[in-house]
Amino acid sequence: MRILVVTVVHHPEDARILHRQITALRDRGHHVVYAAPFSAREVRPRPDLEGIDLPRAAGRSRRTAVRAARTLLAERGRQADVVLLHDPELLLALPGTLRRWRRSGTGPVVVWDVHEDTAAALAMKRWVPAPLRPPLRLAVRAAERLAERHLRLLLAEDAYQERFRRSHPVVPNFTTAPVQAPEPPGTAHVVYVGHLSRARGALDLVETARHLGPGVRVDVAGAADPDVREALAAADREGVLRWHGFLPNDRALALFPGALAGLSLLHDQPNYRHSRPTKVVEYMAHGVPVVTTPTPLAADMVEQHGCGLVVPYEDPPAAAEAIRRLGTDAILRHTAAQRGREAALAHFNWPDAAAEFTHRLEAWAREESGAGPARDAARTERPRLRPATGSPSPGPRPRSGRVG
């Protein structure tokens, strides 16, 4: 198939989009063109992947990105068998083009990959004025219902089904567990990998590192929201922690070997209550004990599989104490690491989900191409997507549980 993947919000090196979905599609032999905000994020497309540069949608500055995406879809979308969208903003770029495709009977399958509960996430967007949040939530719900009528949907979480009237396939945020057994957890450093914001516990990370002191290094990898960047940069300058900035997923995972713990310090926010933190699955898959706040799915994984410790929300002293406990109890530490890896291999391994993901897109494309002889003829006449110019042994169950 010819597949056009589009985002104006996510980092071009986003693990779900690039390292999982696009890789899975290309492994199946499909031709992928990736449109993303490469220049805005100061990265270039991977040399073996066609890339199209788009503006970035951030804060209140989204109109330019939506217009550019609308132009891209109008000019290039018809050349694809599948258009895979990754942002709710892109729904605004579709209506006119989608109507033209429907009238001509030659349009691609359009798929929206639903990454999060957008309406719930609005409560955490500091750039959205508080009085506008309730009407915007209603508008988002209306847009979701409209999208359900006209597009194919993929969901990142089972819980997202509740927002829609029909059932839709779920492509969960799993990760690829390394084939070889990972290095056992040591006692010298802990890791955090993921976006950094107040709600994701960025300032709690800094305070946790201060409570740990110089005996344990805290490695933090991820892009940061403007309101927490200075605190992270100051902590890095002072030697409280090491902030690596954004790292592509494959480079971020290089911080995992020998880590004492992987941290997930999400706050109690509606958007997190029914989401499985990808970082927790990644820690488990790489044999790193988990220290997490009690967001329901993360706490359930840690307690059910005995792969770490759960600490209260917004409590850096408790997080530091959990890390020290793992550091002084070798049985707890090593058993948590082993059980987490076993659970990830059995229940949260991306290759299993990858097959379902690619097969679903292939099935939708077959359904669309089977709509009639005229459509089949139009598809065979479509040119290929043009490249962009200037491409940028199970042991005893550990004494896991809640701390504090």
Q: What's the Cα-to-Cα distance from 55 to each of 16, 71, 155, rounded to whole Å? A: 20, 12, 25
Name every residue whose Cβ is closer than 8 Å to that of residue 203 and which is 6 or more positions away in sequence: 228, 231
Instruction: Kindly report the average pLDDT of the chain as a whole number.
Output: 88
Q: Work out the average pLDDT over 20-44.
A: 96
Q: What is the pLDDT of residues 117-173, one digit of tens each?
A: 765 666 666 666 677 667 776 777 778 888 898 899 999 999 889 889 899 999 998
Q: What is the 3-state secondary structure (H, E, C) of 105-170?
A: CCCCEEEEEECCCHHHHHHHCCCCCHHHHHHHHHHHHHHHHHHHHHCEEEECCHHHHHHCCCCCCE
Assign residue 263 the CATH number of its domain. Answer: 3.40.50.2000
Query: Does residue 58 share a domain with residue 28?
Result: yes
What's residue 246's pLDDT?
94
For residue 151 the two structure tokens come to 């597009």
Q: Looking at the domain assignment, is residue 32 inside a domain?
A: yes
Say yes or no to pLDDT of 220 above 50: yes
Q: Is 281 helix (H, G, I), strand (E, B) or coil?
A: helix
Residue 392 has pLDDT above 60, yes or no: no
Quote the percentage of the chain above a pLDDT of 90: 68
Domain match, 14 and 77 both = yes
Q: How far apart are the C-alpha atoms of 33 and 14, rounded to whole Å? A: 15
pLDDT per residue over 100-128, tens digit each? 888 887 789 999 999 887 656 666 666 66
Q: What is the pLDDT of residue 125?
A: 67
Q: In this structure, is residue 19 part of a structural domain? A: yes
Considering the domain architecture, whether residues 36 and 145 belong to the same structural domain is answered as yes
pLDDT over threshold 60, residue 377: no
φ, ψ at 378 (rounded to 5°): -65, -35
Give the domain-ending residue among 302, 329, 347. 347
Q: Are residues 194 and 135 in the same domain?
A: no
The torsion of the CA quartet 324, 329, 335, 338, rounded to 10 degrees, works out to 50
The total number of structural domains in the chain stands at: 2
> Rounded to whole angstroms, how far apart are CA atoms 135 and 184?
50
- Same domain, yes or no: 45 and 167: yes
Rounded Cα–Cα distance for residues 285 and 304 (Å): 15
Residues 342 and 354 grouped into a single domain? no
- Based on the number of CB atoms within 10 Å of its own CB, is 42 exposed (0-12), middle (13-18) or buried (19 or more)? exposed
144 and 31 share a domain? yes
Query: Which residues lie closer than 8 Å to 307 by C-beta, 6 or more apart?
Result: 284, 289, 290, 301, 336, 337, 339, 340, 343, 398, 400
Q: Are residues 260 and 328 in the same domain?
A: yes
Say whether pTM exceeds 0.85. Answer: no
- Whether 157 and 208 map to the same domain: the answer is no
* Cα 240 to Cα 7, 48, 206, 219, distances in angstroms: 35, 39, 7, 10
Residue 178 lies in a domain: no
In angstroms, the CA 85 to CA 118 distance is 15
User: Which of 60-74, 363-377, 381-395 shows the lowest mean pLDDT across its residues?
Assistant: 381-395
Residue 52 three-state SS: strand
Amino acid, res. 354:
A
337 and 362 belong to one structural domain: no
- The parent domain of residue 286 ranges over 189-347
Could you tell me the end-to-end alpha-carbon distance of the chain, in angstroms, rounded to an integer?
Answer: 52
